[in-house]
Structure 1
Amino acid sequence: MTEEPPLYHEDVAGYRQPMVTSIGIIMGFLLAFMANWAVSEEEGRVLQDAADWLVAGTILVSISLMVVTLARLLDNRVREGVGRRYHTTYRLYIASMTVGLAGLIAALII
């Protein structure tokens, strides 16, 4: 009888650094976008209608998911099931990128 390959790889060290780097870069762009938006030349409140709230909400959710993902990636405590934990972290990573991209697309369209 042959053994089935494991569902999750336990050696994920090579995947950690690229994810940390890409989150840092994208989070920096999102924060810069929010900062430029907040200090625009227009007088009055920045969040004026539902579209502005939608864009701000998606970007803030994305940044929050990125912070959670970074915390999981940088947590170096030894655990069992590293592959399973990485898979969950990967899903959070993809969700944060998707939500952030949706917010930026909404900002361009709306």
Structure 2
Amino acid sequence: MHPPEHEMNHDMKDFRQPMVTSLGIILGFMLNFLGQWAIQDDGEIAVTTPSDFVVALGLITAIAMMLWVLFRLLNNRYPLQRAGHYYHTTFRVYMLAILLAFGAVTAALFV
């Protein structure tokens, strides 16, 4: 159940910095993972099996979603009267991107 619109915090400044920091850490981790994955193959393409393709697609999609969230967080041109809705949409995509990223990394461990 969502709180009524008048009870929502409409100021994103309290949420922006922790989300940007956590995105930076997770993106750094993911880029390191992809970099290590790419260089461990001896001159061959890293994505060779269908399971590799699923993992790579999950990670690339998560990175794209995180970059979109980062854009939304740093964007100062959003409708102030709908700031609560704007933040909640951004937060949902943020959480989905994190779940997708960790799901893809977990899948890479088992496939």
TM over 0.5: yes
Deviation at 1:82, TM superposition (A): 0.6
After superposition, the CA RMSD in angstroms is 1.5
CA contact (8 A) 2:78 2:86 kept: no
Structure 1, unaligned runs of 5 or more: none
Letter in 1 for 2:101: G
Which stretch shifts more, 32-41 or 63-72?
32-41
- Report the count of equivalent residues: 107
* CA distances 1:29-67 after superposition (whole Å, capped 9, x unpaired): 101110111111434221110010011000000000000
Q: Distance in 2 between matches of 1:5 and 1:44?
A: 54
Confirm or deny: 8 A CA contact 2:58 2:100 kept in the other structure.
yes
Distance in 2 of aligned mates of 1:11 and 1:82: 7
Larger Rg: 1
Task: Name the residue aligned to 1:81.
Answer: 82
- How much has 1:6 moved relative to structure 2? 2.3
Q: Which residue of 1 aligns with 2:105?
A: 104
TM-score by length of 1: 0.90
Look up the equivalent residue of 1:65 and give its one-letter code: M
Q: How does 1:37-52 map to 2 (within 5 A)?
A: 37-52=37-52
More helix by share: 2
SS of the residue 1:81 aligns to: helix
User: 1:78 and 1:45 mapped to 2: Cα distance?
Assistant: 42
Unaligned runs of 5+ in 2: none
Percent identity over paired residues: 36
